[in-house]
């Protein structure tokens, strides 16, 4: 080997030592002099364009200022990755100190294994805090676990889903807001004739398609379907094929554009915001994004609820929505760390935090807010939909005890959208997942 | 061989660290993995851990996704063989001719091998993106708009795209191996051919290929083990889903998914064990000979 | 250099065409990434093939100021270099013994190490995770580095033992006559003489740790501790539509290995293919 190599290697080694030493310094954060210093690992699931993200950051900044002894180790990633993160952290028993989640089947095993802190005590110690929540908020389906008593997540927001539509594009196509499924199909056809993509959907992110599937299923069987499926009273093949079929119909009509399964959530929103797509079935969370200055359709966005099926009028007001994100704490927390984590939790779920999020039109609050806060009319329509719903529920699998069901439902929904599965096969795969994990 | 008064001490002292690491973090885990595959267990706090016999294996083989992952692996292997070997052989042969720039070509072709697979995958993901991707833009610009595709999500192209990217990465590796083998062919064989006036094509098929047969065999085995271990590439290209809907699933991916996301460590261990046994068996074919040489003196 | 083949060669032009075609196929994706990383989003979409209208370093500065990519680079650098250090030292120690001493069970130990080459690291992920749980190995660089060191040891011992065996014995015999002990013989004679093999293996183990994904994915949960590979994935998930930004991130993450490779190409190629070629 040449001499120069020797030289290079020795230089490399010096660099290596140097960086090693520097990095050591970087890692040393245990300062014994100040015992009360607390570090919290705080994990959330927002994409950076999410209207909630900016508010969350502001709340965190304020919290840091008010609590200089607390260092926040901020871990945020987009929802699809966050779901995986959550599950791997449960599997490895390394859950963050305080983290968002959606309750339900995903955390069932972790709750059962007592990895999440039971929060009743937190409420009982602070009755003022307990008193601000809406009635029934703690009984939300995603917080109720089969055979397990107690509260394992503090409600943070309620959600509901509906259609955003571009008024200009609707006018151009000469269509009105659809009330029933058949009208919706008609709208899709007419929009397509004008050359726009009727409906933006980010089929690459499974939850986008699954929200649609679940909303459709509730319009056909009511929200009790989730419970019946979780208790294995009914099978997926007997109850959900039709909801998948409707997605097939839309897909084959070209409602979602050419390659919906390669579109991710941010692109989906981009398509709608730039006027390339006329409709977007999405959560109330994004009203302020569509009405923001970066949006090309500002002021042109309307809302309509998921159309109902004229053959099933009894489920006209069965709505996808309800308690969604909750804040949970790691059950290992003790002492000052625990106190700090509870404080942070209250910063988000308490009155002040909730007001901040509401002002930004980012959430449907979980607390009774009596002040007059102006909410965008668009957001208000979502709020009203949830308030007036005859019944509502979140994800179809939220009462399930099998942790993989939500993921599976999302996978088969994407598979269906991507023409890999037929509606029957999609439903069969759901039943097979149950069968395999018996 | 060296001999000191304190030889024994030196031997133990010097060998111990490596042996200790190796025993604790490679050999023990390998056996532990096999052991675990006979138990039903979930990841969290040992909430359930009971003897399960061969049931994990039965369950795995009943799982359509596992069967799909095996089919994918077979396809991965076959397409890798028919793309990587001929290209590596041809390029290796061309580089053996002593043309000007040989060194440059060799270094260039080997380049993808040393770059991080994560980065490479991300790079290709951008190239193959359905919207504004490079490949679709090229097709559109030459008037082949009809051929544009969502390469990585369309079921008809996604897995093949992954395989070809993998081939793109690894061709250089096999090229170097085969080049060395071609350069090792004895001189006199070529002398004889020169007199016969044989042309390049004849040499390539009649002489080179038969003479480096053994090394081609080695390459086949190496390709088998490499494809079997592939994880990062597919993980990144499919955004961690191995989908849409598991369509691009491979055994290692399924092992990761079942254990760390699906909480079914029993099934995951069964898949691990299968990979372990398969991997050890096939790579033993190549390395046995090397080991024999290594231990004989 | 290889006169013997020249006359039998296929047409020179055909040969060059094939070689240049493959060169293009290899280089163009990297070139494309590089020029795209210097464009703005709109420049990239309107002018996908061409050079940037105006060279934009904003994609890079954003990576550093907003995404804090330097944290990930630093983490990876730390993990990789410490891995190299430990592996070189304990690997060389073991190789020295296996190359230079005669003792009982030596053959067995060599075979024992060789078996490690056969074990796919991916297949021991679950037990490793389990061990991590019992020794607090999650979110711990120490544990992760120990794993990287271990996974590299079999091949390291295999290559370096072979190299050490070939070092002429006369030098050390002279040293022993001078009263050199076993330890100083290793440090003062064997290590310097083995430098070519050690440096090659050091680079390979650096590459291995720098590029590794699955173990990092399993073991590192805290964002602040993540490696460049994990950081890259997070970034791509978060900034799906930001193509130029992703290109810049790719360039940064391949830069260290690329530079090392361009400096030491032939040795790296030799080191990586050594095992296979010997067979």
Q: Beta strands of chain B (E only): which ranges?
A: 39-41, 49-51
Flag residues of chain B having pLDDT under 50.
297
As given in the structure block, the two tokens for residue B82 are 């028919």
Instruction: For chain C, say whether A7 makes contact (Cβ under 8 Å).
Output: no
Q: Which of B6, B113, B295 sits opposite C182 (nearest CB)?
A: B6
| C133 → chain A, closest CA residue | A92
Torsions phi, psi of A364, nearest 5? -100, 115
CA distance A255 to A191: 9
Q: Give the whole-angstrom CA distance, residue C234 versus residue B101.
A: 40
* Contact residues on chain C for B117, CB-CB shorter than 8 A: 211, 213
C8-46 tens-digit pLDDT: 556 788 899 999 999 999 999 999 999 999 999 888 888
Higher-confidence residue: C4 or B294? B294
Whether the Cβ atoms of residue A92 and residue B260 lie closer than 8 Å to each other: yes
3-state DSSP assignment of residue C249:
helix
Helix then strand then coil, in percent of chain B rounded to 5, is 75, 0, 25
Question: CB contacts < 8 Å between A and C, how many?
Answer: 80
C-alpha to C-alpha distance for A157 and A162, rounded to whole angstroms? 16
CA–CA distance from B247 to each of A311, B236, C241 (Å)?
Answer: 36, 14, 24
Q: What is the pTM of this model?
A: 0.89
* Residue partners of A22: CB distance under 8 A and separation at least 6: none
What does the longest C-alpha to C-alpha distance in chain A come to? 85
Task: Among A12, A90, A273, pick the best mutation site for testing chain C contact (most C Cβ within 10 A).
Answer: A12
CA distances (Å), C105 to each of B13, B94, C112, in order? 16, 46, 10
Please determine, for residue C1, whether its predicted confidence score (pLDDT) is greater than 50: no
Q: Which of residues 225-244 of C touch A (CB under 8 A)?
A: 233-234, 237-241
Task: Using CB atoms within 10 Å of the CB of residue A413, give its burial: 0 to 12 exposed, 13 to 18 middle, 19+ buried.
Answer: buried
Bridging pattern class, strands B39-41 and B49-51: antiparallel
A231, B99 Cβ separation under 8 angstroms: no
Tell me, letter by letter, the H, E, C secondary structure of chain A: CCHHHHHHHHHHHHHHHHHHHHHHHHHCCCCCCCCCCEEEEEEECCCCCCHHHHHHHHHHHHHHHHCCCEEEEEEECCHHHHHHHHHHHHHHCCCCCEEEECCCHHHHHHHHCCCECCCHHHHHHCHHHHHCECCCHHHCHHHCECCECCCCCEECCEEEEEEEEEHHHHHHHCCCCCCEHHHHHHHHHHHHHCCCEEECCCCCCHHHHHHHHHHHHHHHHCCHHHHHHHCCCCCHHHHCHHHHHHHHHHHHHCCCCCCHHHCCHHHHHHHHHCCCEEEEEEEHHHHHHHCCCCCCCCCCEEEECCCECCCCHHHCCEEEEEECCEEEEECCCCHHHHHHHHHHHHHHHCHHHHHHHHHCCCCECCECCCCCCCCCHHHHHHHHHHHHCCEEECCCCCCCCCCCHHHHHHHHHHHHHCCCCCHHHHHHHHHHHHHHCC
- The answer to whether A303 touches A382, Cβ cutoff 8 Å, is yes
Contact in structure between A324 and A102 (CB atoms under 8 Å): yes
Measured from the Cβ of residue A321, the count of other Cβ atoms closer than 10 Å reads 23
Q: Is the per-residue pLDDT at C6 higher than 60?
A: no
Other beta carbons less than 10 A from residue C105's beta carbon: 9
SS3 C245: helix
DSSP character at residue B2: B
| Chains touching C by CB (3 or more pairs below 8 Å) | A, B
What's the CA gap between B269 and B40, in Å, rounded?
10
- Beta sheet of A70-76, edge-to-edge order: A70-76, A38-44, A98-101, A326-329, A154-155
- Which residue is closest to A45 within chain C, CA to CA? C238
Query: Averaged over C67-88, what is the pLDDT?
Result: 96
Out of C7, C117, C183, the one facing B287 most closely (by C-beta) is C117
Cβ within 8 Å, pair B155-A267: no
Which chain C residue lies closest to A88 (C-alpha atoms)? C218
As a whole number of Å, the CA-based R_g of chain A is 24
Residue of C nearest to B110 (CA): C269
Reply yes or no on whether the pLDDT at C93 is more than 90.
Answer: yes
The reported pLDDT for the residue numbered B211 is: 87
Q: What is the pLDDT of residue A31?
A: 46
CB contact under 8 A, A47 and C263: no
Which of C78, C202, C238 comes nearest A20 by C-beta? C78
pLDDT of res. B264: 87
Q: Name every chain A residue with its beta carbon within 8 A of the beta carbon of B241.
A: 206, 411
| Tokens (6 digits) for C138 | 């999650």
Q: Hey, are the CB atoms on B153 and A259 less than 8 Å from each other?
A: yes
Tell me what pLDDT residue A33 has: 47
> Could you report the average pLDDT of every consecutive run of 10 residues in chain A (438 residues)?
51 50 43 69 90 94 95 90 90 92 91 93 94 91 89 95 96 95 97 95 93 97 95 95 96 92 88 94 93 91 96 95 95 94 96 94 91 89 93 93 90 93 95 88
pLDDT value at residue A235: 96
Contact assignment for B127 to C276 by CB distance below 8 Å: no
Please say whether the beta carbons of C263 and B107 come within 8 A: no
Phi-psi region of A322 (alpha: psi -120 to 50; beta: other; left: phi over 0): left
3-class secondary-structure state, position B49: strand
Q: Which residues contact A284 (CB under 8 A, 6 or more apart)?
A: A159, A160, A161, A162, A364, A379, A382, A383, A386
* Domains of chain A, earliest start first: 38-157+324-349 (3.40.190.10), 161-321+394-436 (3.40.190.10)
CB contact at 8 A, A404 and A222:
no
How many whole angstroms from its chain centre is CA A265? 12
Give pLDDT, residue C56: 87
Q: Does C221 touch chain A (CB under 8 A)?
A: yes
Nearest to A24 by CA among C141, C230, C211, C217: C141
- ipTM for the complex shown: 0.91
Helix-strand-coil percent breakdown of chain C, rounded to 5? 80, 0, 20
CB A399 within 8 A of CB A144: yes
Is pLDDT above 60 for C150?
yes
Q: Do C238 and A78 touch (CB under 8 A)?
A: yes
What single string gives the DSSP state of each residue in C98-135? HHHB--TTHHHHHHHHHHHHHS-GGGGHHHHHHHHHHT
Are residues C235 and C67 in contact, defined by beta-carbon separation less than 8 angstroms? yes
**Strand, helix or coil for residue C179:** coil
Burial of A339 (0-12, 13-18, 19+ CB in 10 A): middle
Span A21-42, pLDDT tens digits: 444 444 444 444 455 799 999 9
Structure token pair of residue C126:
């679950």
The two tokens of residue A295 are 């949006």
Question: What is the separation, in whole angstroms, between the first and last Cα of chain C?
Answer: 25
DSSP summary character for residue B147:
G
A200 Cβ neighbours under 8 A, 6+ residues apart: A256, A257, A263, A268, A269, A271, A272, A276, A277, A279, A280
* B18:C94 CB<8 A: yes
């Amino acid at each position: 080997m040449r001499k120069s190599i020797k030289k290079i290697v020795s230089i490399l080694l010096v660099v290596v030592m140097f960086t090693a030493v520097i990095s050591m310094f970087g890692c040393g954060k245990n300062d014994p002099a100040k015992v009360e210093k607390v570090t919290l690992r705080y994990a959330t699931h927002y994409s950076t364009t999410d209207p909630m993200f900016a508010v969350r950051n502001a709340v965190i900044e304020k919290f840091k200022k008010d609590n200089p002894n607390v260092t926040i180790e901020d871990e945020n990633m987009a929802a699809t990755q966050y779901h995986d993160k959550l599950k791997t952290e449960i599997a490895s028993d390394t859950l963050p100190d305080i983290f968002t989640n959606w309750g339900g089947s995903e955390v069932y095993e972790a709750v059962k294994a007592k990895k999440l802190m039971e929060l009743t005590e937190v409420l009982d110690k602070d009755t003022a805090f307990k008193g601000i929540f809406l009635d029934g908020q703690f009984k939300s389906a995603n917080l109720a676990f089969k055979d397990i008593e107690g509260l394992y997540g503090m409600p943070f927001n309620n959600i509901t889903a509906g259609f955003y539509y571009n008024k200009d594009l609707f006018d151009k196509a000469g269509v009105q807001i659809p009330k029933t499924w058949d009208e919706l199909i008609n709208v899709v056809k007419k929009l397509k004739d004008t050359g726009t993509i009727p409906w933006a959907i980010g089929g690459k992110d499974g939850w986008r398609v699954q929200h649609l599937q679940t909303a459709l299923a509730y319009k056909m069987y009511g929200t009790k379907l989730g419970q019946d499926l979780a208790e294995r009273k009914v099978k997926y093949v007997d109850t959900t094929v039709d909801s998948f079929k409707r997605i097939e119909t839309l897909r084959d009509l070209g409602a979602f554009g050419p390659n919906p399964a390669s579109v991710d959530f941010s692109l989906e929103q981009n398509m709608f915001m730039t006027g390339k797509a006329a409709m977007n079935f999405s959560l109330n969370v994004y009203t302020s994004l569509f009405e923001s200055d970066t949006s090309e359709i500002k002021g042109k966005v309307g809302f309509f609820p998921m159309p109902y099926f004229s053959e099933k009028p009894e489920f006209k007001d069965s709505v996808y929505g309800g308690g969604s994100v909750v804040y949970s704490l790691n059950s290992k927390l003790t002492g000052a760390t625990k106190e700090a984590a509870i404080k942070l939790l209250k910063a988000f779920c308490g009155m002040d935090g909730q007001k901040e999020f509401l002002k930004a039109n980012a959430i449907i609050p979980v607390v009774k807010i009596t002040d007059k806060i102006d909410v965008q009319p668009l957001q208000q329509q979502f709020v009203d939909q949830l308030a007036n719903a005859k019944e509502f529920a979140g994800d179809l699998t939220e009462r399930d005890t099998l942790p993989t069901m939500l993921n599976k439902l999302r996978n088969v929904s994407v598979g269906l959208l991507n023409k890999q599965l037929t509606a029957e096969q999609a439903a069969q795969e759901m039943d097979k997942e149950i069968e395999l994990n018996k | 061989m060296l001999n000191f008064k304190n030889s024994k001490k030196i031997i133990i002292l010097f060998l111990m660290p490596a042996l200790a690491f190796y025993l604790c973090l490679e050999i023990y885990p390998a056996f532990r993995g096999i052991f675990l595959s006979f138990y039903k267990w979930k990841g969290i706090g040992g909430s359930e851990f009971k003897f399960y016999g061969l049931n994990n294996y039965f369950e795995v083989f009943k799982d359509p996704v596992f069967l799909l992952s095996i089919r994918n692996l077979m396809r991965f292997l076959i397409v890798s063989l028919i793309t990587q070997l001929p290209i590596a052989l041809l390029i290796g042969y061309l580089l053996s001719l002593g043309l000007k720039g040989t060194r440059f070509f060799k270094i260039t072709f080997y380049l993808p091998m040393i770059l991080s697979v994560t980065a490479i995958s991300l790079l290709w993901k951008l190239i193959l993106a359905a919207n504004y991707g490079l490949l679709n833009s090229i097709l559109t610009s030459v008037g082949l708009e009809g051929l544009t595709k969502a390469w990585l999500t369309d079921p008809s192209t996604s897995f093949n795209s992954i395989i070809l990217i993998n081939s793109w990465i690894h061709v250089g590796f096999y090229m170097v191996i085969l080049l060395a083998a071609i350069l090792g062919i004895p001189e006199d064989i070529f002398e004889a051919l020169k007199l016969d006036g044989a042309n390049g094509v004849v040499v390539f098929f009649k002489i080179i290929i038969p003479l480096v047969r053994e090394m081609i065999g080695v390459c086949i085995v190496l390709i088998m083990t490499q494809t079997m271990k592939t994880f990062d590439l597919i993980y990144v290209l499919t955004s961690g889903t191995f989908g849409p809907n598991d369509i691009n699933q491979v055994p290692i991916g399924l092992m990761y998914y079942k254990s760390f996301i699906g909480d079914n460590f029993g099934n995951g261990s069964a898949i691990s064990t299968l990979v372990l046994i398969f991997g050890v068996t096939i790579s033993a074919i190549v390395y046995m000979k090397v080991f024999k040489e290594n231990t004989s003196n | 250099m290889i006169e013997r083949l020249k006359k039998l060669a296929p047409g020179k032009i055909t040969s060059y065409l094939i070689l240049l075609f493959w060169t293009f196929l290899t280089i163009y994706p990297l070139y494309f990434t590089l020029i795209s990383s210097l464009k703005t989003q709109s420049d990239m979409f309107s002018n996908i093939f061409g050079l940037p209208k105006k060279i934009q370093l904003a994609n890079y500065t954003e990576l550093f100021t907003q995404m804090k990519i330097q944290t990930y680079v630093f983490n990876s650098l730390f993990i990789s270099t410490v891995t190299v250090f430990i592996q070189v030292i304990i690997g060389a120690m073991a190789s020295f013994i296996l190359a230079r001493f005669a003792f009982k069970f030596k053959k067995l130990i060599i075979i024992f190490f060789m078996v490690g080459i056969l074990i796919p690291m991916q297949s021991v992920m679950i037990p490793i995770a389990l061990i991590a749980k019992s020794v607090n190995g999650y979110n711990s660089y120490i544990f992760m580095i120990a794993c990287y060191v271990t996974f590299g040891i079999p091949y390291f011992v295999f290559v370096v033992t072979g190299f050490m065996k070939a070092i002429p014995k006369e030098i050390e015999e002279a040293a022993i006559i001078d009263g050199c002990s076993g330890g100083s013989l290793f440090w003062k004679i064997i290590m310097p003489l083995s430098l070519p093999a050690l440096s090659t293996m050091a680079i390979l183990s650096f590459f291995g740790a720098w590029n590794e994904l699955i173990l990092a994915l399993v073991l590192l949960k805290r964002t602040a501790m993540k490696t460049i590979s994990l950081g890259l994935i997070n970034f791509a998930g978060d900034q799906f539509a930001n193509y130029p930004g992703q290109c810049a991130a790719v360039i940064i993450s391949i830069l260290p290995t690329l530079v090392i490779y361009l400096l030491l190409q032939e040795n790296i190629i030799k080191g990586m293919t050594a095992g296979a070629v010997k067979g």
